Structure 1
Amino acid sequence: MKTTTGTPTAEQTDALRVTLVIGSNRHGRFGPVVADWLLDRLRDRDDLVAEVVDVAEAALPTSLEPTPEATAALSGITPKLDRADAFVVLTPEYNHSFPAGLKNLIDWHYAEWRAKPVALVSYGGLAGGLRAVEHLRQVFAELHAVTVRDTVSFHNAGASFDDDGRLRDPSGPDAAAKTMLDQLAWWGHALREARTTHPYTG
């Protein structure tokens, strides 16, 4: 997967910090292919600066016990979530829902999500991961986050990309991504200003 930087340029001082969460840790996962496409869409915009949290690189126990190993893993994850103005969460659909590893990463955090917008991108078979998206909306509502209305979903995702990881027909997904990211940017700016002038207490 391509690397990214979370450091704004001089022209991006007002840019929103967007953390892309890659939600699968399964062997042979397809997520990095979709993530690279997403990162290109994020980098196309001057109003967004992206960095990545990858569930596959997060060695977090499911017990939520603050072990030394968990503390070390959190030291690389939590700051990226905390400083984010907005999130894009990329999820596959496993058994009509989203992966356990993604839920575990979400559950390890609370304040980091509060009063921030979340865009949802999914991939899968016939359903394109949309059932996972609807479950994630409920989870993020409980965490006082705001999910944006429009999503991007890839039905039969493996057939949508060629062997080099490029979309065979980018027109639809690119248009959907623009709409979704426009909404994310609006909510991101609005909520960042609101948190600054009137801190959220819930």
Structure 2
Amino acid sequence: MFRRKHFLFGLLMILILSALVLSGCGSKKGGTKDSGDNNDPVPIEFNTESFEGTTWESSGTVSFPLITVNISEIIADASTPASAFYTGSVDCASFPGPIDITEEDITLIGGKLICLLGVEAGGTKGISFSVYATNDDGDAIGINGFIHENNLNTVEVHILTIDYADEEKTDFYYDEEESSETIVLTKQVPV
């Protein structure tokens, strides 16, 4: 139950960030663009198309299983220059197989999604990386991370949840602030 609350909290965060982007929070009253020099996050544009067809993989350790995220295509109707939803899949080595994420699957509550959001806060620019999916067995995975503008090939994972429907399996919860371990997803070079 504790892990499901963290998973839902992460999902709530992506809802809030998406609402900020869609409401145009990057503008002040006078119509000038906020430069992001305070700590409030400001949506920024990024090359959303450059993430199409990419694969991101963790190294997997004794502590957590190998995870692979495949980003396929942008869903144009649900995207802006500062944010994009994508089709694709997520695979966790401890699941029976990959979880496909189609355009029809993407809903912010109870659905599946791959979402990237360009953001600047406190002078730091980058891309928020969020993946949520549940397979037919009820196993769920949630990833919240960040891609820094000076290292577009690495996702620093902030929160990772793996929640098994089978109560006999041990759920996994990772929070970078509570762990001495670091989890990253690395962009794979096509062969």
Of structures 1 and 2, the one scoring higher in RCO (CA 8 A, sep 6+) is 1
Looking at secondary structure, tell me which structure has more strand per residue.
2
Q: With the length of structure 1 as denominator, give the TM-score of the two structures.
A: 0.25
